[in-house]
Chains A and B, each alone.
Chain A
Amino acid sequence: MGLLRSVALAIDKSISRAANTFELTRGRIPPGACIAALWPHLAHDLIGQIEQDITIITGTNGKCTTSRFLAHILQQASHETLHTEEVAASMDEVTSILVQASNLQGVIRARYGTFGFDPSMLYEAVNVCNPQLFILNNLYFDGLDFEGGPDALMQEWRRLFNTMTAEQHLLINADDPILCGGFVRGVPPRVTYFGVEDERLAIDSRAARFTRCHRCGTVLSYRLISLAHLGDYTCNTCGWERPMPSIYAVNVEINANESRFRIITPLGPLDVHLGLAGLHNVYNAVAATAAAVTLGIKAATIRTGLEMTVPMFGRDERVTIHNRQARLMLIKNPTSLNENLRTTFMDDQPQRYLFLVDDEIDAGGDVSWIWDADLKMLATGAESVHVAGSGADHLVLRLKHAEVAVTEVNTDIDDAFHQTMRQMPANARLWVMATDAAMFELRQSLKELGVL
C-alpha cells in the first residue's frame, strides 16, 4: 500500500463520512472516487478481504430491510458484518461502504457482507462480490426498471445461475411466480425456498390477475394472494405450481404498529415479534432467516437479531412532536404504496394522511406509477388527506379519480408537515407517504429539529 493510496483513501473516507453525516447525496454515498483512480480493482480487492460469506439480496422491494435484518442477526452472533443500510443500487454504494470500513492501509476486518443490489445490477455485483448466498426477494412488475422487463431479466439471471457453482446457494421467495418461473431446476447452485403461509392474509390484487405461467403462458390461478402477485399459485393448464418452501412464516398477526409470527425452520419454530408493521416486512424477515439458517446461525440469535432491527430511511420511521406521532413511509412504486396503505388501515385510530410527492426528474421523479396504485380504499376510510410537494397536482388528480376528497394542498413539504401535525388532536397519528426526494427533504428538516 503506497503513500499515495493511503492519502487517497483518507480523502475518500472523509468525503464518505461527511456525506453520510449531512446526507449530502440523498442517502447515496459517493464512491471512493479518489482511491478508485489509483486502485483499479478496488472493490474486488476490498471485498475479497471479507473472511467468510457474502450475501447478495436482490428484488424490486425490501433489499435494504432484508440486508439490515441479516446484518443484525450476524452482528448478534458477534460477527463483524458490512451491509447496505439505506440504499441498494450499484457497486458504487458497496464500494463506498468498503472504503469507509477499511483502514488507511486498505485493510478490512469483517467476517460477513450482506449487500442489496438493484435487479439490473446483479450481474456486475456477482462478478465483483463472488457471493456464497443469493436472496431473490421479489420482482414487482411495476417497480422493475430493466430494459425488456421481467422476461428479459430472468433470461439474464438464468445465464448467471448457470455459471454458479454447487457451493453457492440460492434462496428464492416461493410465493413469487415470476422469480420461481425464472429459475431452472438442475443448475448447479443449491436452492432453498422461503415464503409465507397464512390464509387469513388473502387479498384481491390487480397485479395477480396479470401474472402468467412461465411454462405455457396461461394466467395463473391463486389459492391465496398475499401481496401484489405473491401467493400460493398454480397453473390450471400445465400444472406448474408454487414450490413448497422449507422456511416459512405461519400464524401471521399484523397490526398498524408491529407484527408477530412463527417462522418454521429446520432448526425448529421461531416465534418472532417485530417492531415493524406490514406483511412486506414479514417476507423480509423470513428471507433473512433463510439466509441466517444457511449460514449456520442459532435460532435464538436469529430471533434476537430480527427483533432488534429498527426502521431506517422512511421505512416506517416514527417521529413524535408535541404528543402527535408521524409515521414516515417511503413510497416508490404501486406495491409499496398499496402495502403501506394496507398497514394504515389496520390502525384503530382515524386515518390521517399526508402525501408528499416530488416530480424531480433527476430523483427519478416520474410519478406515473401512482395511477397503478390502488387508492380507492381511501375514499371511505380516510379522516383527512393532505397533499404537498412539487408533484402534488399529479396526486390530487389521481385522488380525484379514486373519488377521494383532498383536505388541503400545499407545495411546501415542511409547511405541510408541521401544519398538518398542528391541526391534529393530541395523541393522534399522521401517516406520511413520501416519494424518495420528498422523504429526503422532510427527514432533513426533522433532523434539523432534532426529532429524528
Chain B
Amino acid sequence: MDKNNIILRIGVLYPDRMRINGDYGNLLILANRCRWRGIKIETQSISLGDPLDPTYFDLLLFGGGQDWRMQTFVADDLKKGKEEVLQQAAAEKTVMLLTGGGYQLCGKFFEAAQGARIPGVNLLDAWTIDNDEVMSGDIIIESDWLTPNTLVGFESHSGKTYLGPNGRPMGRRIIGQGNNGEDAFEGCRTDHIFGTYLHGPILPRNPHFTDYLIHLALKRRYDEVPLVPLDDELEWEAHQRVLDQAGR
C-alpha cells in the first residue's frame, strides 16, 4: 500500500437542505485530520435529484435540517431511489455520520404532532415523534465502545426519538436530554452507522470519535491504516471543560 495514495471519499448528503448547526464543521474536521496525516480527501455533495453510487463513498455525512417541512423535501427525494442505495451502501459497510434531522430520517419514520408521518429509510431501528418542547443545551454521553468513553456536544431538537429492540444507543446520557428526555439513551448506531443529536458540531470536541470514523472508513478499501497521533490538546481541553462544568 502506497501511503501517499490513500484517499478517503466523503459524500455530503443534501448540504443545501440539511446543514444547520455548524454541520460544515464535521466535514472540515474530518478533512483536516486526514490532511494533517497525509491522507487525501475527496468530497462530493449529493442533493435533490442527484445520483448516489452505493459503493463509491467511504463515509457519508447527513446533517441536521430545520424540522418538518424541510425534511419532507429530502424524504421525498430519498424515496425516489436513494433509500435502496443507502441500504446497499450500509451493506457495503459505508460509514455514516447522521446528525439531527439526518438521524431522524434514517430511522423508521418521523411523526408530526398532528399524526402525519415522514417515512424514514430504515437504516436504524429508531423512530421519532415531533414534540412542541425544544430540548436544548450541553449534553454528555457515556459510551461502551469508545476510549475515552465520553462524547460531548450541544443538542437542540424538538423531535423525541425512541429505539426499537435492535437499536443500540450511541451512549447513556449523563447531562442533557438525549433521544427523548425520558429514557437514558442518546443516539442510535450500528457498527458503522452513527445517528446522534449531538452537534456543536459533534466532531471538533470529540477527536477520538473523529479518528474512530476515519479508521472505520479507511478500512473499507485499505488494509489497516495507522493513524498518526495529532496534537489534540485544544480539543481535549474543550472536551474537558464540558465535563468540568457538569462536575464530571
Contact = CB atoms under 8 A, between A and B. Distances in A.
Nearest to A370: B22
B198 to A, nearest CB: 11
B25 interface: yes
B1 interface: no
A400 interface: yes
Contact of B73 (A144, A151, A369, A371): A151
A151 B25 contact: no
B201 A371 contact: yes
B136 A361 contact: yes
B235 A397 contact: yes
A151 B69 contact: yes
A237 B145 CA distance: 49
B87 to A, nearest CB: 25
B171 interface: no
B41 interface: no
Contact of B205 (A147, A217, A361, A397): A397
Contacts of B6: none
Nearest to B14: A210
A361 B135 CA distance: 12
Contacts of B199: 368
Contact of A397 (B138, B154, B234): B234
A183 B37 CA distance: 49
B32 interface: yes
Contacts of A370: 22
B25 A398 contact: yes
Interface string B220-248: 00000000000000110110010000000
Contacts of A148: 66-70
B200 interface: yes
B156 interface: yes
Contacts of B85: none
A393 B237 contact: yes
A210 B19 CA distance: 10
A393 B238 contact: yes
A152 B154 contact: no
Interface in A337-378: 361, 366, 368-372
9 contacts: A148-B68, A148-B70, A149-B65, A149-B69, A217-B48, A368-B201, A372-B23, A394-B200, A398-B204
